[in-house]
Amino acid sequence: MIAFDLPTFWFVLVGVLFAGYAILDGFDLGVGGLHLFTKTDEERRIMMNSIGPVWDGNEVWLVTGGGALFAAFPEVYATVFSGFYDAFMFLLFALIFRAVAIELRSKQPQRFWRRGWDIAFAGGSVLSSFLIGVAMGNVAWGIPLDENHEFTGNLLTLLHPYALLLGVTTVALFLMHGNIYLILKTEGMLHEKLKRWVKITIPIYMVLFLIVGISTPIVCEHIGLAFQERPYILSLLFILALLLAFNIPREVYKGREFIAFLSSCGSMIALMTLFGASVYPTMVFSSPNIVNSLTIYNGSSTEKTLGFMMIVALIGVPIVITYTVSVYYIFRGKVKLTEESY
């Protein structure tokens, strides 16, 4: 058994926060991506209101993930965000536009107003999903770092084919995830329509997932190495993610929508764990000069900070999870449009 290791604890916790973000904001970004495929105003309102009470809480997972990264791994936080500067600014713009679109779309009835915010909402959602995928792709692929862990590339360095593939895969994943969430929250005509869409969104994602899964150990040398070091655990996680994803259409077909959604969440958790387990203990690979990589040891805060913040997190996170679950429970069931709706 490995002794308890604070940086590892924080690696897992930051992972949990980002996985929480992917699962939660994943579906509301997906809902955004599907938004333009429905045509009537009422359907669009139902879709937007299905995420109405929860989207800003979901975004908090990203913000807190960023905060936790800052506290526990300041070196990584500084390197990644200054290195991905342009890409990150686009992500922020996309998220801002999306948030504002949700809030403002319903405030005026005019056609141009609603149409404009519809486009902002859908565009912002798809762009955010894509950029999150590109960022993941770059962390796995490696970015050029000098011996002070400063990023030495530019925006084009980040847009290589592998990162773009991961970007597209993430969009597909979120669309599928959002689609299942919407099935859970709708009824009637829209519900039936969404059930038909699932037959398209799931296969697209599965194909992309397989391509990524097979190509990653081959094109990313260091992840290939990780697969040789930890073959069983990584293969197991890969198969688990795959099986859970296969389970989704089955549950939808049987009408067990909630289990289908859980299955989709489970698949994403398996995927994030797989990602974490293949890069551990490295957080940012330096490519081509692998010696300059950032690991959980050379990028972390002091033991004192990590230890103190661990207590803070162990008290805070369960409370957060409790009321997050309560809020979802209070807003369970199908969406009904009321006076307060967007």
Partner 1 sequence: MTIGLGLILVIISGLWLKTRNPLYHNMGRFWTRIFGLIFAIGVASGIVMEFEFGTNWATYSRFVGDVFGSPLAIEGIYAFFLESGFLAILLFGWDKVGPRLHFFSTCMVALGSHFSAIWIVVANSWMHTPAGFHLAKKVKVAADGTQHPLTAQLGEGSFTYEEIPLPTDYVLQQSDLHSVRAVITDFWEMVFNPSSMDRLTHTVLGCWLVGTFLVISISAYYLLKKRHLPFAKMSMKIALTVAAITTVLQFWSADSTARGVAENQPTKLAAIEGLAESTAEAPLGIVGWVSWEKDDEGNRIGFKQTTLKIPYLLSIFVSGDFLHPIKASETVVVGLEDLPSDAFLLSRHPDATPEELKKIRPDYWPSVPVVFQTYHIMIACGVALFIIAWTGLWFWKTGRLWATDKRLTRWYLIVCVFSVFLPQLAGQAGWFTAEMGRQPWIVYEILKTSEGLSQAVRAEQVLTSLILFGLIYALLFLVFLYTLHTKIKHGPSDDISGEQLPEKWRSLEVLEKKTGGPDQ
By the criterion CB under 8 A, which residues form the site for partner 1?
A: 52-54, 56-57, 59-60, 62-64, 66-68, 70-75, 77-83, 85-86, 88-89, 92-93, 95-97, 99-100, 102-104, 107-108, 147-148, 150-152, 297-298, 301-302, 304-305, 308-309, 312-313, 316-317, 320, 323-324, 327, 330-331, 338, 340-341
Residue 94 or 163 with smaller CB distance to partner 1: 94
CB 155 to partner 1: min, Å: 9
Residue linked to tokens 């709706």: 341
Shortest Å distance, C-beta 52 to partner 1? 6
94 or 274: CB nearest partner 1? 94
Q: How far is CA 198 from CA 176, 178, 203, in A?
A: 7, 10, 8
Query: Of 200 and 312, which CB lies nearer to partner 1 in the complex structure?
Result: 312
Beta carbon of residue 179, minimum distance to partner 1 (angstroms, whole number): 22
Asked if residue 94 lies in contact with residue 128, where contact means CB atoms within 8 angstroms, the answer is yes
Specify the length of the chain in residues: 342
Angstrom distance (rounded) from CA 285 to CA 307 = 26
Nearest to 190 by CA among 42, 27, 26: 42
Q: Of 333, 327, 325, 313, give the one whose Cα is nearest residue 68.
A: 313
Q: How far is the CB of 248 from partner 1 (least distance, A)?
A: 27
The answer to whether the peptide bond before residue 281 is cis (omega within 30 degrees of 0) is yes
Q: In which residue are the tokens 């330096």 written?
A: 286
Supply the minimum distance, in Å, between the C-beta of residue 270 and partner 1: 25
CA 32 – CA 53 distance, rounded (Å): 15
| Minimum gap (Å) between residue 90 Cβ and partner 1 | 9
**End-to-end Cα, the chain, rounded Å:** 52
Alpha-helix residue ranges (DSSP H) falling in the chain: 6-34, 41-51, 55-72, 74-83, 85-104, 111-141, 155-158, 161-185, 188-219, 221-229, 231-254, 257-279, 303-330
Q: Report, in Å, the least distance between residue 278 CB and partner 1.
A: 22
Q: How far is the CB of 242 from partner 1 (least distance, A)?
A: 32
Contact 185, 331 (CB under 8 A): no
Question: What is the Cα 108 distance to its own chain's centre?
Answer: 32
